[in-house]
Chain A
Amino acid sequence: MEEVKHLPCEIVSEILSRLPIESIMQFKSVCKSWFSLIEDPSFVKLQLKRAKSQPHRLILWSNQVRKNWVLLLDRDKEGKDMWKGRDISLEYTFKYEKQDHCLNFIIVGSCNGLLCMVSTFWYGCCSIFYGIFICNPITQECTMLPVGGGRFFDGGDIAEGQIGFGVDSSGKYKVIQIFKKQSFSSDVDDDCGLKGEIITLGESSWREIEIPYKSFYSRDDSWRKRRAIEGMVFMNGVLYCIIQKPTTHEVSDQPIILVFNLDDDKFSTIEFRPSIELPPYYELGLTEIKGSLALHHRLDFYDEPSILRMWLIDINKSKGNQLYHCDHTRVPKMGRNFFVCFDLVGMLSNNLLLYTVEIERGTLLLAHCLEKKQFMRVQIPQAIPSRFQAKSFVPSLVSPIAIACGKTKKDGRYKFQGLHLEVVGYSSLWEFMSSCLLHPTFSPTLSYKSQYLPR
Chain B
Amino acid sequence: MSSTKIFLKSSDDKTFEIDETAARASETLKNIIDGGCLDGVIPLPNVSSNILPKVIEYCKKHGGDNGSSKKIANGGVDKDKEILPDYDEEEDKREKVRVDELKKWEEEYMDFDQQVLYDLMLAANYLHIKGLLDLTVEKAASMIRGRTPDQIRENFNINSDFTPEEEEEMILIEDEWDDEWAFD
A84 within 8 A of B: yes
Q: How far is the CA of A196 from the CA of B4 in the complex (A)?
A: 65
Asked if A124 is at the interface of the complex by the 8 Å CB criterion, the answer is no
Given contacts A4-B114, A4-B155, A7-B121, contact A28 B170 (CB under 8 A): yes
CA distance A326 to B118 in the complex (A): 47
Q: B137 contacts A451, CB within 8 Å?
A: no
Bound complex: CA of A275 vs CA of B118, how far in Å?
61
CA distance A8 to B122 in the complex (A): 8
* Interface flag for B166 (CB, 8 Å): yes
Chain B nearest CB, measured from A329 CB (Å): 15
| With A312-B83, A381-B183 as contacts: A15 and B140 at CB distance below 8 Å | yes
B159: chain A residues at CB < 8 Å are 31
Residues in A1-55 with C-beta less than 8 Å from chain B: 1-8, 10-11, 14-16, 18-20, 22-23, 25-32, 34, 53
Known contacts A11-B122, A15-B140, A26-B149; decide if A417 and B83 are in contact (CB<8 Å).
Answer: no
A291 at the B interface (CB under 8 A) = yes
Nearest-neighbor residue (CB-CB) of A29 within chain B = B170
- Contacts of A268 on B, CB cut-off 8 Å? none
In the bound complex, residues from chain A placing their C-beta under 8 Å from that of B156 are 4, 6-7, 30
Q: Which residues of B contact A14 (CB under 8 A)?
A: 133, 137
The minimal Cβ–Cβ distance linking A85 to chain B, given in whole angstroms, is 8
- Complex alpha-carbon distance, A343 and B10, angstroms: 60
Contact B169 A416 (CB under 8 A): yes
Please report the C-alpha to C-alpha distance between residue A350 and residue B81 in the assembled complex, in whole angstroms.
11
* Cβ-based interface call for A382 (8 A): yes
Contact of A8 among B125, B140, B144, B153 (CB under 8 A): B125
Determine the distance from Cα of A281 to Cα of B84 in the docked complex, in whole angstroms: 24
* B80 pairs with A416, CB closer than 8 A: no
**Residue from the list B137, B157, B160, B172 in contact with A4, Cβ < 8 A:** B157
When distances are taken between beta carbons in the complex, the residues of chain B under 8 Å from A453 are 166, 169
Chain A minimum-CB-distance residue to B113: A1
Contact present for A11 and B121 (CB under 8 Å): yes
Total interface residues on B, CB under 8 Å, equals 50
A10: which B residues are within 8 A, CB to CB? 125
Chain A contacts of B92 at CB under 8 A? none
Given contacts A26-B148, A26-B149, A291-B79, contact A18 B141 (CB under 8 A): yes
Interface size bracket, A side: 35 or more
Chain A residue with Cβ nearest B168 = A453
Which of A15, A31, A53, A351 makes the CB contact (< 8 A) with B82? A351
Chain A residues lying within 8 Å of B166, measured Cβ to Cβ, are: 453
A168 within 8 A of B: no
B94 within 8 A of A: no
By a CB distance below 8 angstroms, the chain A residues around B179 are 22-23, 26
Q: Which of B114-171 contact A (CB under 8 A)?
A: 114-115, 118, 121-122, 125, 133, 137-138, 140-141, 144-149, 152-153, 155-162, 166, 169-171
Residue of B nearest to A350 (CB): B77
Out of A3, A26, A84, name the residue touching B177 (CB < 8 Å): A26
Q: Tell which of B80, B125, B153, B156 has the most Cβ of chain A within 10 Å.
A: B156
Closest 9 CB pairs of A and B: A29-B170, A18-B141, A25-B177, A14-B137, A84-B181, A26-B177, A4-B157, A30-B149, A15-B140
Instruction: Give 19 A-B pairs besides A8-B122, A26-B178, A417-B176 with Cβ atoms closer than 8 angstroms.
Output: A2-B115, A6-B158, A7-B156, A8-B125, A11-B121, A11-B125, A15-B137, A23-B145, A30-B153, A31-B160, A32-B161, A290-B79, A290-B82, A312-B84, A324-B83, A381-B181, A417-B172, A451-B169, A453-B169
**Chain B residues at the A interface, C-beta cutoff of 8 Å:** 74-75, 77, 79-80, 82-85, 114-115, 118, 121-122, 125, 133, 137-138, 140-141, 144-149, 152-153, 155-162, 166, 169-174, 176-179, 181-183
Jot down 19 A-B pairs with beta carbons below 8 A, ordered by A.
A4-B115, A4-B118, A4-B155, A7-B122, A8-B122, A19-B144, A20-B145, A25-B173, A26-B177, A29-B149, A29-B162, A30-B156, A30-B158, A31-B153, A32-B162, A34-B158, A290-B79, A292-B83, A416-B172
